[in-house]
């Protein structure tokens, strides 16, 4: 649904800072002035993001915690495969390292997909669009013979619920429903969930499903590793004693309860079609009879999960892949 005000920055994805042609006069000789090379939109992107691979990879500027995430997963899994899997494969079944390997690669794939993708950044208004919007807002000033501050919100009706669209002073747009401005990346993100330093990116409409699959698969991996490390300890303790078994093996316990808890929390959010941002603010109630009922919920857990995980992905923000196929 296009928010009230309609045809502004949601449709036009061009940035005025981008010049694709040099401004030489028609009478000027082409030998006197060379045309500057066109710049891609991500090269002049005003937000605080880093781009790699010619704009195909987009991350937040602070990525130190993301590298810590990679190290923790790689070290924990590596210790398990190196110290526990050979014994378990011999004593129980070779399927244990095979299943662990599948889980590990799925975790890494979904992590990188979440970290390197556009979360759903909304393009900023061009100066002409911003000026036109300010002009429309300014028309409400000075009514009834006095000065009245211009309204910085609009109201739209979604499934019978009134939703306010807030004006972003940085992006010069009325943010669509569920969008929010990330102060760390300096972008408005569609269906903003939260900024996650562990994945080094915002989590929004375009990468939330991959984030959820990452934490869910990581939960399976940590429980799998923890369970079979304990199994290793028990089997070894029958031969050498419990204390010696602890010395001979490596207990790979990677915050299993916190990861499982996080997966459970986001499963709850998906089942009720909420975002972390909305849940923290207490924006909606899950009960239809309440005045602030959630207008985005379909009233069915299965339908809510399908909408969040199986719906079509929106196109990438036009700044990120301008001229790139």
Report yes or no on 72 lying in a domain: yes
Q: Higher-confidence residue: 153 or 254?
A: 153
Q: Is the pLDDT of residue 4 over 70?
A: no
Report yes or no on 137 lying in a domain: no
Report yes or no on 160 lying in a domain: no
- Mean pLDDT over residues 209-234, rounded? 91
Measured CA distances, 141 to 115, 137, 147, 311 (Å): 44, 8, 6, 42
Exactly one of 196, 202, 252, 306 is catalytic; which is it?
196
Choose the most confident range, by mean pLDDT, from 82-86, 94-98, 149-153, 225-229. Answer: 94-98
Q: Is the pLDDT of residue 182 over 60?
A: yes
- Mean pLDDT over residues 195-214, rounded? 95
Report yes or no on 123 lying in a domain: no
pLDDT tens string 255-310: 677 888 899 999 999 999 999 999 998 888 766 667 778 888 888 899 999 988 88
Per-residue pLDDT band for 139 (boundaries 50, 70, 90) equals low
Structural domain count, the chain: 1
Q: Are 117 and 206 in contact (CB under 8 A)?
A: yes
Report yes or no on 267 lying in a domain: yes
For 237, the domain range is 41-118+194-273+287-309
Q: Give the pair of three-digit tokens for residue 37.
A: 């090379």
- Mean pLDDT over residues 204-222, rounded? 94
User: Percent of the chain at pLDDT above 90?
Assistant: 38
User: Which alpha helices (H) appear in 80-126, and where do they start and end?
Assistant: 85-91, 95-115
Those residues with Cβ within 8 angstroms of residue 83's Cβ, 6 or more apart along the chain or in another chain? 249, 250
Cβ–Cβ contacts within 10 Å for residue 48, how many?
14
Residue 86: what pLDDT?
92
Q: What average pLDDT is seen over the chain?
A: 79
Q: Higher-confidence residue: 286 or 99?
A: 99
Report yes or no on 268 lying in a domain: yes
Query: In the annotation, is 85 catalytic?
Result: no
Angle at the Cα of 110 from the Cα atoms of 186 and 46, rounded to 5 degrees: 15
Q: Are 151 and 254 in contact (CB under 8 A)?
A: no
Q: Are 282 and 262 in contact (CB under 8 A)?
A: no
Report yes or no on 206 lying in a domain: yes
Residue 178: what pLDDT?
92
Residue 140: what pLDDT?
53
What is the helix (H) or strand (E) element at residue 158, kind and residue range? strand 153-158
pLDDT tens string 9-65: 444 444 333 333 344 444 444 555 555 566 777 777 788 888 888 888 899 988 999
Q: Is the pLDDT of residue 142 over 80?
A: no
Q: Which of 38-52, 107-121, 176-190 has the lowest mean pLDDT?
A: 38-52
Residue 31: what pLDDT?
52
Q: Which of 172-186, 211-225, 238-252, 286-300 has the lowest mean pLDDT?
A: 238-252
Q: What is the residue whose two structure tokens read 């000075």? A: 142
Those residues with Cβ within 8 angstroms of residue 31's Cβ, 6 or more apart along the chain or in another chain? none
Report yes or no on 14 lying in a domain: no
Q: Are 265 and 294 in contact (CB under 8 A)?
A: no
CA 81 – CA 123 distance, rounded (Å): 45
């Amino acid at each position: 649904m296009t928010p009230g005000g309609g045809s502004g920055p949601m449709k036009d994805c061009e940035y005025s800072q981008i010049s694709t042609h040099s401004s030489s006069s028609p009478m000027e000789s082409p030998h006197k002035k060379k045309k500057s090379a066109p710049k891609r939109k991500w090269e002049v992107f005003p937000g605080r993001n880093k781009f790699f691979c010619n704009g195909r990879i987009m991350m937040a500027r602070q990525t130190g915690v993301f590298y810590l995430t990679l190290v923790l997963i790689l070290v924990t899994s590596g210790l398990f495969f190196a110290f526990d899997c050979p014994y378990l494969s011999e004593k129980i079944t070779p399927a244990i390292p095979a299943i662990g390997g599948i889980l590990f690669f799925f975790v890494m794939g979904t992590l990188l997909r979440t970290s390197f993708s556009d979360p759903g950044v909304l393009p900023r208004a061009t100066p002409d669009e911003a000026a036109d919007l300010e002009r429309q807002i300014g028309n409400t000033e000075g009514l009834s013979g006095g000065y009245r501050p211009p309204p910085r919100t609009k109201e739209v009706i979604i499934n019978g619920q009134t939703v306010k669209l807030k004006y972003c002073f940085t992006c010069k747009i009325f943010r669509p429903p569920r969008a929010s401005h990330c102060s760390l990346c300096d972008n408005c993100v569609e269906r903003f969930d939260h900024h996650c330093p562990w994945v080094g990116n915002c989590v929004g409409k375009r990468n939330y499903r991959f984030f959820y699959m990452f934490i869910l698969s990581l939960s399976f991996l940590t429980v799998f590793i923890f369970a079979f490390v304990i199994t290793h300890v028990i089997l070894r303790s029958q031969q050498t004693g419990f204390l010696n078994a602890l010395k001979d093996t490596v207990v790979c316990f990677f915050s299993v309860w916190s990861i499982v808890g996080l997966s459970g929390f986001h499963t709850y959010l998906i089942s009720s079609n909420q975002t972390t941002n909305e849940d923290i603010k207490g924006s909606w109630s899950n009960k239809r009879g309440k005045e602030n009922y959630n207008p985005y919920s379909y009233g069915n857990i299965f339908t809510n999960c399908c909408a969040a995980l199986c719906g079509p992905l929106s196109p990438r923000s036009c700044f990120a892949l301008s001229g790139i196929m």
